[in-house]
A and B are shown apart, each in its own frame.
Chain A
């Protein structure tokens, strides 16, 4: 078959000059969205500050608010991974109750110390995550069903172990996990370490850009990248120090959120989650082992539910049969308000944490105004639906 062809290469256009510049600029939408989220939070705070005559923005209340965010925040970090992969976990509230109960029971029955009892709580969460992840990924039971079953079963287990009664914490140091504060000095030292690590990573990335033949950041770009987050870190610690220091649960949340952000943005596993949730068929044909990645996501969420259970128990001072009820809904709402899609493929740890802060702010502000519980619930439900509705509206327009 004769094929007289014209070589297409000769028609190749010379690469445009501006292309090099545009090549590395991200689409602004994602960024805009997180600014919108921050703006909504600032507006909410302004409203509460006004409505409570300034009580809402006292350092004492700020410390409280941040501490209240810790449990939902830790859950949201794990939940957002499962949601990105296109799955859901409804059992985390019950799991918070069960793991907290387990941690207190080993203190009560076997007189275990702080470390073994913490490990017990985390291990219970991890084991449950493993079972639920296996049922979802291997036995192909939809995660909604698996974890709906879990919601009932783990709550039942917690009630069974405790025979319906509440057990106080036996190890006094355990309380510090939920109620303690870092000393002002420790807070300052950590802030300094944080800022140093930030400067190092920005400079390191800038060097790497040069090594890979990409244009390094300009002087102002470099400064902004360092100054912005540094100021925020220092201000955050200063505000908390002005009351009693950085609460320990907040420190735990910050560490977990940073680790979660790294895992979702900078690891293969994280990339796989987005691919699986975005298009599982394409992910499979790209050589990704769907089952193992989904299983890992459930294990991470399980372990984090254990951590959240310990913080929760330590804050309350005892483990009750109904501890953590409905927390799963707060965690899911936090992810969704933070931009995650229940269809999978979208969501960030940063957004989920902001969402958790938003939910905690609603709780905190409305409680300060003595708004009855039932109204609080109605408002929270309405805001959740409105947030997603607005997002969908904006998406359709663009």
Chain B
């Protein structure tokens, strides 16, 4: 701690000396040597970030680089004792015990998942928990008058008495910002604010942000849309693998340089040697489009075509919200909206209206969120492994536990599932072991096509290697593996071919030989096309 302390003092002195008077240079926030560990993963490793008054500071990085974790630390979601490092606000050391502490210091974080209550009005949401009035009786006139003033200050044409559920995503975002300002926030943190917005909505947001900057508010702008970053921000910090790689004036860099710093990672040696000979096409997708009416804005997928062969790994790269998961859901008959286009499995047109249809065609789907959609946590490994294979492991309607054990045990052993027995509850296992159980569940069905969504999400290095070798072996055994991953090294290390999505469209197609991290990232961020 002593060493860190001395660095901080020196740094503060430098900042102070450089800008003694200029208001645009006054340090609002400084985060020093922030480290944060999750079981098995070091999410942040000595990150440093500072923010001045009237500055838009962009924070960029690949998915999983640590941006969200950093924002949660700043917002008080992770209290001080759960991480290392120091946070100073206006040169005062702050120790947040919770979200309230962070808010009191003038920090407002607008997370990607908005925290508005849809069935309450705009005004009610803005003052939620801080309603004006006395003795618990709300003064509605004061509430709506103040809400109207706030909205007017932001030049927003929103009636504070409308329900939030009646607003578009863009307006909801702006209401969140109004809510933050109502708490006299001087530091505004926006996490991927444009992810769900249409272009027009985004323009309104940019206008508001420019106004706020003039008012001296410091904005941390988390985004991986580089075009926006270059248009809006004064400075940019690149995070990679939990480390802050560079902080520089945005004008001093170009997009290519930022991309290089985002991905500049050695491809680690954890990927198995590949000697595969892809054979005939088993999965062919033609002009697939998907629209979910519940989600406003652009369609989830537009005119996506590709094919996958027996014995190959097709990697699907793209940024958050590019439509990768939606693509897998559509192929598995689980997309909540309307899907059009043609899907051929084994050369025959396939009608996939439900997961049951997909399973019958020999498709398996390992979802990203094991706990939410992969496993029944209070049930045994055996229960989970056999859940999708019951029709093949039972006669007519009666199940046969012994037959299930006999079928599951070889996989339990060959995948080296680390558990006391097949009857261990799935919820008690580590992330990596749970992932193996989900893999085993689909392998039991001997799939022709296996869809993987972020197969190594949240699992430790050791288990990762095992997952990688399992994927490679599957492909060798003749399965067509379609793998979505946010980790470029993973995509490049495992895939025979790579498909890049950007805003629901195919923006790049690469082979193992011509794909480079920079080229793929350029397609993923919409800077370039290679299709």
Contacts and interface: CB of A to CB of B under 8 A. Distances in A.
Given A7-B272, A8-B469, A13-B416, A287 B388 contact: yes
B344 interface: no
Interface residues of A, number: 45
Interface string A1-39: 101111111001101000000111111000000000000
Contacts of B380: 27
A168 to B, nearest CB: 42
A248 interface: no
B23 interface: no
Contact of A268 (B334, B399, B403, B406): B399
Nearest to A27: B423
Contact of B379 (A12, A23, A26, A275): A275
Contacts of A208: 400, 402
Interface centre among B354, B373, B425, by most chain A C-beta atoms within 10 angstroms, is B373
B448 to A, nearest CB: 15
Contacts of B400: 208
B421 to A, nearest CB: 5
A266 interface: yes
B22 to A, nearest CB: 48
B334 A285 contact: yes
B493 A3 contact: yes
Contacts of B388: 286-287
A284 B334 contact: yes
A8 B409 contact: no
Among A13, A269, A286, max chain B CB count under 10 A is at A286
Contact of B376 (A12, A23, A211, A283): A283
A285 B272 contact: no
B466 interface: yes
A279 B387 CA distance: 12
Contact of B267 (A1, A270, A288, A289): A1
A213 B406 contact: yes
Given A7-B272, A267-B398, A1 B515 contact: yes
A85 to B, nearest CB: 12
Nearest to A284: B355
Nearest to A29: B425
B512 A1 contact: yes
A269 B267 contact: no
A212 interface: yes
Nearest to B356: A287
Contacts of B390: 268, 271
Contacts of A209: 402
Interface string B472-516: 000000000000000000001100000000000000000011011
A205 B402 contact: yes
Given A214-B405, A284-B334, A345-B378, A5 B492 contact: no
B376 A289 contact: no
Interface in A314-372: 345-346
B221 interface: no
A15 to B, nearest CB: 6
A285 B424 contact: no
Nearest to A274: B379
A263 to B, nearest CB: 9
A258 to B, nearest CB: 14
Contacts of A8: 272, 465-466, 468-469
Nearest to B393: A268
B373 A285 contact: yes
Contacts of B373: 279, 281-282, 285
B71 interface: no
A180 interface: no
A7 B469 contact: yes
Interface residues of B, number: 63
Given A3-B271, A24-B422, A268-B390, A287 B515 contact: no
A73 B270 CA distance: 58
Contact of B402 (A4, A25, A212, A279): A212
B421 A267 contact: no
B144 interface: no
B365 interface: yes
Contacts of A156: none
Given A9-B469, A267-B399, A282 B425 contact: no
A346 B334 CA distance: 26
B377 interface: yes
A278 B399 contact: no
B359 interface: yes
Contacts of A212: 402-403, 405-406
B355 A286 contact: yes
B10 to A, nearest CB: 43
Interface in B30-63: none
Interface in B378-436: 378-380, 383, 386-388, 390-391, 394, 397-403, 405-406, 409, 412-413, 416, 420-425
B141 interface: no
A274 B384 CA distance: 11
A282 B274 contact: no
Contact of A269 (B397, B492, B515): B397
A278 B270 contact: no
A282 B421 contact: no
Interface in A250-292: 266-271, 274-275, 278-279, 281-289
Contacts of A214: 402, 405-406
A282 B273 contact: no
Given A3-B271, A213-B406, A281-B372, A287 B413 contact: no
A267 B397 contact: yes
Given A8-B466, A214-B406, A286 B399 contact: no
Nearest to B494: A3
Contacts of A278: 376-379
Contact of A285 (B332, B377, B420, B516): B332
A7, A23, A287, A346 interface centre (most CB from chain B within 10 Å) = A287
A285 B328 CA distance: 12
A208 B400 CA distance: 10
Lowest 7 A-B CB distances belong to which pairs?
A: A278-B376, A287-B356, A212-B406, A8-B469, A286-B388, A5-B272, A281-B373
20 contacts: A1-B267, A4-B269, A5-B270, A7-B469, A22-B420, A23-B421, A26-B421, A208-B400, A212-B405, A274-B376, A278-B378, A278-B379, A281-B373, A282-B376, A283-B387, A285-B355, A286-B359, A287-B358, A287-B388, A288-B387
Interface of B: 267, 269-274, 332, 334, 354-356, 358-360, 365, 367, 372-380, 383, 386-388, 390-391, 394, 397-403, 405-406, 409, 412-413, 416, 420-425, 441, 465-466, 468-469, 492-493, 512-513, 515-516
